[in-house]
Amino acid sequence: MYADTRPRWPVLMAVCLGLFIVQVDTTALNLALPRVGRSLHVGIGALQWITDLYNLTYASFLLTGGLLGDRLGRKRVFASGLALFVVGSTLCAFARSLSVLLAGRLIQGVGAAFEIPGTLAILAATYVDPAERSRAMGVWASVSGLALAFGPSAGGWLVAHAGWPSIFLLNLPTGGAALLLTIARVEETPRATGRRTDLPGQLLAVALLASLTYALIESPQGGLAAPLARASLVVAPVCLCLFLLREARAADPMIPLGLFRSATFSGAAAAAATMTFAMYGLLFLLGLYLESIVGMSSFLAGLAILPSSIAFILTSPVAARLTRRIGPGPLMAGGLLAIAAGLLLLAGLTVHAEAVRLLVALSLTGFGMGLNTGPAVTVAVSSIEQRQAGIASGIINLARMIGATLGVAVLGAIVADRTSRWAPGGLLAAHGLAAVGPGQPFRSGYSAAFVAGMRASFDAGAAVALCGAAIAAATLFRLAASRRLPPGTSGPVR
């Protein structure tokens, strides 16, 4: 416990710097992908792996990272996550081959999974006074919003002027400072001795997500990958069945399946997953479209995407207040409808970007994310017993990352399938396509094929978002008729 006279700002800074580099890295990478493809001479399948290997690893180890923080001490696990993220960023920055870059992304994903769950827990242990804690949490939320705005704009500028490795180099001094502050000024939290690590469940979760992602990404590529992809489609459901059997029988399951008996909790998880499915798939494809098809620079592409981040930042505080008045159900359903509307607008894009269409559509998607994100956590912690609030919040974040992983895999695969006959191996891969320089759009049938695939992808993303809205309406609207339970209240709502 901190003495009253001990400065707490170094702890807040360490936590916020750690959060900042993870958020910025995720948003900036989408703008770097076209240059990565040209630099390493790889196709759209490889670019999907560069994005999704991080998402997959993060999702696989997110709950374990939180549990290890409880058992081993949150400072220790948070610092370990920071160190891993810096090491992974270093590998990515100096990678000159796809295998090294993928190794760096995998290490980054593990680091983020260990680091992020401890951020709020460390702040809660540091700021005992409720008013001070509330202010600290507000700073944490503001930094998260700042990173969402900083990533597309500054990330695009760095990629355009200093090359794609610069977005990873940025993590080194920032992450190093966070690590030094953590070691020097953060005090260790008490260790919990209750739950044990569910190693079999963890291994099955990794196998499930990896096999499913591999099947989705590699199926359109053809060649030697196709038989393995078909085999993965068999492996994935087997792993799912084994995982469910394990979790049902384990004394300390990784995911307590009993939580999903609550229709409201299940609805919140589904809404969170469908939101990130649509949004991560959108952002993955939009950067490729704006830079490689339209011919924008990385910086201009970042500015074009910025309205989504700004709308999210402006909407989130309003959503928090509206949740207390009308309940989370209408907000989450409305948010997913807004995301679907934005995607359907973007499905009308041609090889020539329309500025007004982009502005309106991306503002809608950011508005929808802002309405959905906060209320999902509110539902998670108020729909189950309070002793399980921590694991419930973790599962909602896990649902988001699973949705993100599948969104990039599925929507990217649709485009890869449409473009494969124009460039075997995918985007920027063969037949001289890698020679297309920055800011130079393709001038062949490939552009039309990419846009056609992107339209189909955005239609698919909109359909998934509409399904999420329907689920939210069916399972969460009744919260508006009851007395809403904000985070921290007792008593479950079924």
- The model's pLDDT over 280-308, given as tens digits with 9 standing for 90+, comes to 999 999 999 998 888 888 899 989 999 99
Instruction: Over range 233-239, report the average pLDDT.
Output: 91
b/e code 248-264 from CB counts within 10 Å (16+ = b)? eebeebbbbeebeebbb
Report the pLDDT value the prediction gives residue 351, as an integer from 0 to 100.
80
How many CB atoms within 10 Å of residue 278? 32
How many CB atoms within 10 Å of residue 129? 10
pLDDT band at residue 147 under the 50/70/90 scheme: confident
Could you tell me the two tokens for 364?
A: 């809608």
Report the pLDDT value the prediction gives residue 8, as an integer from 0 to 100.
80
Q: What is the largest CA-CA distance in the chain?
A: 67
Q: Is the pLDDT of residue 340 over 70?
A: yes
Q: Is the pLDDT of residue 233 over 60?
A: yes
pLDDT band at residue 427 under the 50/70/90 scheme: very low
Report the pLDDT value the prediction gives residue 488, as an integer from 0 to 100.
37
Q: Which residue has the higher pLDDT, 142 or 331?
A: 331
User: Which of 125-129, 224-228, 343-347 is the most confident on average?
Assistant: 343-347
Report the pLDDT value the prediction gives residue 3, as an integer from 0 to 100.
45
pTM score, two decimals? 0.86
Alpha-carbon gap, residue 26 to 49, rounded angstroms: 14
Helices and strands (H, E) in the chain, number of each type:
17, 0
pLDDT above 90 coverage of the chain, percent: 40
CA distances from 227 to 215, 221, 231, 429, 434 (A): 9, 11, 6, 21, 27
Could you tell me the two tokens for 21?
A: 């580099």
pLDDT band at residue 430 under the 50/70/90 scheme: very low
Identify the weakest region by mean pLDDT among 145-154, 247-256, 415-424.
Answer: 415-424
Alpha-carbon gap, residue 358 to 364, rounded angstroms: 10
Report the pLDDT value the prediction gives residue 425, as an integer from 0 to 100.
44
Three-class DSSP category at 414: helix
- Residue pair 53/105 in contact (Cβ under 8 Å)? The answer is yes
Mean pLDDT across the chain: 84
Instruction: Over range 313-333, report the average pLDDT.
Output: 84
pLDDT above 70 coverage of the chain, percent: 86
Closest CA to 473 of 298, 312, 310, 333: 333
Q: Is the pLDDT of residue 494 over 70?
A: no
Residues 241-284: tens digit of each pLDDT: 999 999 998 888 888 888 888 888 888 899 999 999 999 999 99
Q: Is the pLDDT of residue 143 over 60?
A: yes
Q: Is the pLDDT of residue 482 over 50?
A: no
Alpha-carbon gap, residue 479 to 469, rounded angstroms: 15
Q: Which residue has the higher pLDDT, 406 or 28?
A: 406
Could you tell me the two tokens for 133?
A: 């804690």
Report the pLDDT value the prediction gives residue 428, as an integer from 0 to 100.
46
Could you tell me the two tokens for 316?
A: 């989130």
pLDDT band at residue 434 under the 50/70/90 scheme: very low
Alpha-carbon gap, residue 322 to 317, rounded angstroms: 9
CA distances from 187 to 11, 13, 70, 100, 127 (A): 9, 14, 14, 35, 12
Q: Is the pLDDT of residue 441 over 50?
A: yes
Report the pLDDT value the prediction gives residue 166, as an integer from 0 to 100.
92
Identify the weakest region by mean pLDDT among 63-77, 183-197, 273-287, 445-459.
Answer: 183-197
How many CB atoms within 10 Å of residue 321? 9
Instruction: Over range 93-106, report the average pLDDT.
Output: 95
